Structure 1
Amino acid sequence: KERAADILEEMSPGAAADALEDLDEEVAEQIIASMAPEEAAEVQELLGYAEGSAGRIMRTDFVRVRATATVGDALALLRALPEVPDPLLAVYVVAQDTAPVEPRASKSNDDRAVALRGIVRLRSLVIADRSTPLAEVMDHDTPTVRPADRAEEAARIMAEYNLLAVPVLNDAERMIGIVTVDDALAELLPEIWQSRGARAFV
């Protein structure tokens, strides 16, 4: 169980949740109990969503930036993060009175959960002047999905809006995660994706 827990901790939470769902319930619970608390909590949260849903395959580690920050603030704080989410596809601008950048998402029942205001793509962040307010370079009309939406819907939105990731909002309109194009395709085209070695298009 300890070895299985170590392996699952190295996997994405969504993949770990899928692996555990195929096991006997008692065995799965024992493995989760052997995992590090933070990783175990993420996996248990995803297991609460239906298989094939956006909630099941979403990633809960994303970079959020306070709406009052500048491009320079965001770049400096990105460099200061102890661990940068992989993949890092965009910075999510939120209305929240906390530190300007935090690398991990809040859970849906956490009072730190954030209200999404827009996204700043990395290209825009890199080429903009450091003094520019994020509000001037972000995409304001950001498409989103709900945790209960199917992975197909997340993939459709990403294709329609040329996104590499789509934010996931709960019923309180708080951002709780993102679905990446890699994760959506791995869900929709599992055999093809596995034969390609799950190579990321980022």
Structure 2
Amino acid sequence: MAPVNRVFAAQLAGLPVFGPDGESIGKVRDVVAGLRLDQQPPRVLGLVVELATRRRVFVPMLRITSIEPNAVTLATGSVNMRQFHQRPNEVLVLGQLTDAHASLTDTGTRLTVLDAAMEPTRTRDWVLAKVAVRERGARLGLGRRRSSLQVLPWQDISGLGLTDLSGQPQGAGQLLMLFDTMRAVDIAATVRDLPVKRRHEVADSMDDERLADVLEELPEDDQKELLAHLSEERAADILEAMNPDDAADLLAELAPADKNRLLDLMEPEESEPLKRLLAYSRDTAGGLMTPEPVVLTPDATVAEALAHIRNPDLPAALGTMVFVCRPPTETPTGRYVGCVHFQRLLREPPAELVASAVDSDLPALRPTAPLAEVTRYFAAYNLACGPVVDAQDHLVGAVTVDDVLDHLLPEDWRETGLHDVRNEETSRTS
């Protein structure tokens, strides 16, 4: 993108948008920004562009190569033709921020927003860094002094964050409505920005399944803080709803007395797998694995296997592989026979037995395999999921690539903010 220091949203309205070869794409109709709960400048996600057909589409900022006084140029002539739909955590700068009421943080002076300016950052992001405002209530009649226009930093203005745009912070109920449209990882990032009291209100209002999903995406310190806020009975229910490997990681961080008390409150069928996982070091295959992979007996059909991996609640990585074992099929299983890759299942007749498609040549990990060995294993065999088999040839679990990455990244990777490493196009299309 050309080195532009500041662009006011009103300057963009109506500008023609061209592709890299000069072909006309449409005209800019608005600027889309992601609202925040704190006072930091919102990130500019992209532009709303109206095509010649009157359809309005979203163009991410990373697709824009230059913004000139008379035109906007894209890096590619192809655009996503889906109709633009605003998400609850987004604001249209021209359509919603303009004429919105706000106040000066230090003095409480009432203001009216006239425009907002976006500026580039060193990370190639654009943020709404400045706001053009005028004091509310001033009249322009004869003999009255017109209030002066001011351009102030976003941080100096109150009432324009993730609020009702009238200065009143959203209550827990409003936030939950917003969260209904968001992924758990994005909710976690938002929850981390909340004041402690509001964070607890949101946690109290969430159902167990949703809170479990969010808790899995929080840094360890935030996980422990939220878990400590909950009653012990509800904390045990949340741990039961979490993925077993994530629940075991969280329990391992607690004081032994707290860990044992929560395990005792859990249902035995839920706590026993966690106790097995806690027996392994966190940086081994046994500590990384989940005890709930897809396990079938050799006489199951391909159709049955496909039905299992179509389960929408099954994590994507676990859905890439079905493990074939002798009964019992609960981990630790009977004798491990082998695995079937989901692509192989797609090529087999539905009535065929999974035993005929088993890959018995793929080596299995031992529970004591260290993280470095697990990493080499996934890289060598290009896997998203791999079996963990004990010395008696029982399948005890499966390691997924996301858990490997989680342990390879710096410990504070969640705290640095997912939004800092995710580009605009991903955020809009995921």
Give TM-score scaled by structure 2 length: 0.39
Alignment check: 8 A CA contact 2:327 2:334 kept? no
1:86 to 315, 332, 337: 315
Q: Does 1:106 align with 2:335?
A: no
| Structure 1 position 22 matched with structure 2 position 285 | no
Conservation of the 8 A alpha-carbon contact between 2:298 and 2:354: yes
Counterpart check, 1:31 vs 2:262: yes
CA distance in 1, matches of 2:261, 2:387: 32
Deviation at 1:79, TM superposition (A): 8.1
Identical pairs, percent: 35
Query: Distance in 1 between the 2:327 and 2:236 partners?
Result: 36
Cα shift at 1:123 = 1.8
Query: CA 1:69–1:48 in 2, change beyond 3 Å: closer, same or farther?
Result: same
Q: Are 1:6 and 2:237 an aligned pair?
A: yes
| Alignment counterpart, residue 408 of structure 2, candidates 177, 188, 192 | 188
Cα distance 1:174–1:20, how it changes in 2: closer, same or farther (>3 A)? same
Q: Which residue of the partner structure matches residue 110 of structure 1?
A: none
Deviations 1:145-190 (A, max 9, x none): 1111112222211111111111001110111110000111112215
Instruction: Give the number of the structure with larger relative contact order, counting CA–CA contacts within 8 Å between residues 6 or more apart.
Output: 1
User: Given the superposition, is the C-alpha separation of residues 140 and 31 from structure 1 closer, same or farther in structure 2, using an over 3 Å criterion?
Assistant: same
Question: What's the offset of the Cα at 1:55?
Answer: 0.7
Query: Which amino acid letter does the alignment assign opposite residue 67 of structure 1?
Result: P
Q: Distance in 2 between matches of 1:27 and 1:7?
A: 15
In the TM superposition, what are the counterparts of 1:25-104 in structure 2 within 5 Å?
25-75=256-306, 78=308, 85-87=314-316, 88-94=319-325, 96=326
Task: State the secondary structure of the residue aligned to 1:114.
Answer: coil
4+ runs of 1 displaced by more than 3 Å? 72-76, 190-193
1:125 Cα offset (Å): 1.0
CA distance in 2, matches of 1:21, 1:196: 25
Structure with the greater alpha carbon radius of gyration: 2
8 A contact 1:144–1:166 mirrored in 2? yes
Q: Which residue of 1 aligns with 2:362?
A: 142
**Shift in Å, 1:67:** 2.2
Matched residue, 2:342: 122
The number of residue pairs the alignment matches comes to: 185
More divergent stretch after superposition (132-141 vs 26-35): 132-141
Deviations 1:66-111 (A, max 9, x none): 22444235346x3898x964342211122x256xxx5xx323xxxx
Q: Give the deviation of 1:53 after TM superposition.
A: 1.2
1: distance between equivalents of 2:271 and 2:285?
19
Q: Counting strand residues as a fraction of each chain, which structure ranks higher? A: 2
Measure the CA separation in 1 of the matches of 2:303 and 2:381. 27
Runs of 5+ unmatched residues, structure 1: 108-112
